[in-house]
Amino acid sequence: MRRWSVAALVALAIVTTVLFSACSINESAVEALGGIRVTAMDTDAGTTIEEAQVLVNGVPRATTLPAEISGLPAGSVEVTIRPGLAYPPKTLTATVNPPEITDVNFTYTSTEIVATVTVTANEAIAIIVVDEQLQPDLNLGEAFSLPAGAHSISLYKEGYVTLSPSLYAQEYEGIAYTLDFALEEAEYGAEVGELFYDFTFDDDWGGQQTLGQYRGQVVLVSFWFSTCIPCLEEFPIIETIFQERAAGGFRVLAVNTGWNLDDQADFEEMRDELGLSFPLLFNGFSVDWVLNDLGVQNAPTNFMIRPDGVINDRRGQITYELLNEMIDAALDE
């Protein structure tokens, strides 16, 4: 069977929309795009830093260094890295000069101020999450050092919801903090009001994404495949809102259904053609999981997960207005 390219499907989607809406398309000049290459080094130790969450204008873009981020328009961007427990978060302003790649280099010393944090809960065992990175080596009730600065800390346990407050996002200075969480056992499911299934899937960047690392955030889990025209129509809308609302805690995990046997090349083509910056994930379970456990019979299917891990809404194809309403409703719960 012939495999249509993303570009061809996007063109088909546009033509179809025009034919049915009787609207015209005005041609505009294609905007020149550039990129940045983000690195970090401990100048005291003379070593490079290899793991950090990288955000561009508040939007998460990578978790490993060096990170090369393309598809950026000309002008100034705010680049933030959050290396977790070893170094404090830092922000630099960089200038994008298309089509060049601009180097953004962060430097650290080994004498940074640290805070002391103790996380407690009503359960003896759970995973502490610092800056959206799971920290399985940290123990509840035991103090750990956290570099001073802006951090987010949450708590995740399989089969449990994290009751409010599910996230402590604040400035941590050089003092001691105790953060208390409440967990409650819940049933897994795929309907509104149920705890969405835990998963850890590979992404097309060569890393992995775990739903639990985003506990405390509002997460859209969107199911798609590469020749799905409604998915192609919807993804640019999701991307726009991701750029607008990521700084406020909105996250997107786009999981491939597996129906189309999409591979790395399909993922890369989808990302490049549509200019996507959120993670595209391979279905690490099975087609049966999508069809039978989740009851997903059509794509796109979108699940809005609220900060405690529970499904707040379930929809098919979504619009700009509807997605914003879904995020607001999940935040209000």
Give the residue-averaged pLDDT of 133-158. Answer: 96
Distance CA 285, CA 199 (A): 8
Beta strands in 122-249 (DSSP E): 127-130, 133-135, 144-147, 149-156, 160-162, 167-172, 176-181, 183-185, 200-202, 208-210, 218-224
Which residues are 101's β-sheet partners?
35
Q: Which CATH superfamily is domain 33-108 in?
A: Transthyretin/hydroxyisourate hydrolase domain (2.60.40.180)
Distance CA 32, CA 258 (A): 34
| 223 pLDDT higher than 50 | yes
| 21 pLDDT higher than 70 | no
CATH class of the structural domain 114-185: mainly beta
Give the residue-averaged pLDDT of 131-157. Answer: 96
Q: Would you state the pLDDT for residue 28?
A: 46
Q: Would you state the pLDDT for residue 62?
A: 87
| 1 pLDDT higher than 70 | no
Give the residue-averaged pLDDT of 286-307. Answer: 96
Q: Would you state the pLDDT for residue 228?
A: 96
What mean pLDDT, rounded, does the chain reach? Answer: 91
Q: Would you state the pLDDT for residue 5?
A: 58
**For residue 308, what are the CA distances in angstroms to 136, 154, 185, 292?**
19, 10, 11, 24
Give the residue-averaged pLDDT of 235-248. Answer: 96
Give the residue-averaged pLDDT of 134-150. Answer: 95
Distance CA 159, CA 291 (A): 21
Q: Is 229 left (phi over 0), alpha (psi -120 to 50) or beta?
A: alpha
Distance CA 158, CA 57 (A): 32
Give the residue-averaged pLDDT of 295-312. Answer: 97
Closest CA to 333 of 158, 155, 163, 160: 163
pLDDT classification of 7: cutoffs 50, 70, 90: low
- How do residues 49-78 score in pLDDT, each as one tens digit? 998 999 999 999 988 899 999 989 999 999
Give the residue-averaged pLDDT of 288-311. Answer: 97
pLDDT classification of 332: cutoffs 50, 70, 90: confident
Question: Euclidean distance between the first and final Cα of the chain, in Å?
Answer: 46
**Do the two domains 33-108 and 200-332 of this chain adopt the same fold?**
no
Question: In degrees rounded to 5, what are phi and psi of residue 162?
Answer: -105, 105
- How do residues 245-281 score in pLDDT, each as one tens digit? 999 999 999 999 999 999 999 999 999 999 999 999 9
Tokens 């034919």 belong to residue = 19
Ordered by start, the domain boundaries in the chain are: 33-108, 114-185, 200-332
For residues 321 and 16, the model is more confident at: 321
Asked if 253 and 235 count as a contact pair (C-beta separation under 8 A), the reply is: no
Asked if 330 and 304 count as a contact pair (C-beta separation under 8 A), the reply is: yes
Distance CA 112, CA 222 (A): 40
What percent of the chain shows pLDDT beyond 90? 83
Q: Would you state the pLDDT for residue 4?
A: 56
pLDDT classification of 3: cutoffs 50, 70, 90: low
Task: Return the CATH number of 200-332, one of 3.40.30.10, 2.60.40.420, 3.40.640.10, 3.60.10.10.
Answer: 3.40.30.10
| 206 pLDDT higher than 60 | yes
pLDDT classification of 237: cutoffs 50, 70, 90: very high
pLDDT classification of 168: cutoffs 50, 70, 90: very high
